[in-house]
Amino acid sequence: MKEMMKNIVYAGLGAAFLTKEKIEELQAEFIEKGKMSQEEGKQFVDELMSKSEKAKEQLNLWINRRVEEKVKQLNLATVDEVNELRRQIEELQVALNTQEKSE
């Protein structure tokens, strides 16, 4: 029964978006209603926090991959490429200033 209840909570609430406060609210509610003990409640919170963090990490990885794919498809310059161009422009400006001073 407890395992089924946990699975329902995991599925129903979307572990990736649960905050610690919300998880603790659920814990308190379950303990108050007698559906789980203090120890079970602590274990429940720990498990849910762990699953939430893993889900957030996976979601972030997925989003980053999709964004990188779209940037490549759009043929946009990356931050590194823009920084390299800035560095080259600065070098050219220094070279021009040096040349103008020597003339």
In sequence order, which residues have a C-beta less than 8 Å from that of residue 13 and are 6 or more positions away?
Answer: 22
Q: What is the mean pLDDT of residues 85-102?
A: 94
Per-residue pLDDT tens over the stretch 48-59: 778 777 877 887
Per-residue pLDDT tens over the stretch 6-25: 555 555 555 556 667 777 77
**What percentage of residues in the chain have a pLDDT greater than 90?**
18
Place of tokens 């572990």: 15
pLDDT of 26 strictly over 90: no
- Could you give phi then psi for residue 75, rounded to 5 degrees? 60, 40
In sequence order, which residues have a C-beta less than 8 Å from that of residue 5 and are 6 or more positions away?
Answer: 30, 35
pLDDT of 85 strictly over 90: yes
pLDDT of residue 37: 75
Q: What is the mean pLDDT of residues 33-38?
A: 73
pLDDT of 1 strictly over 50: no
pLDDT of residue 16: 54
Q: Is the pTM of this model over 0.85?
A: no
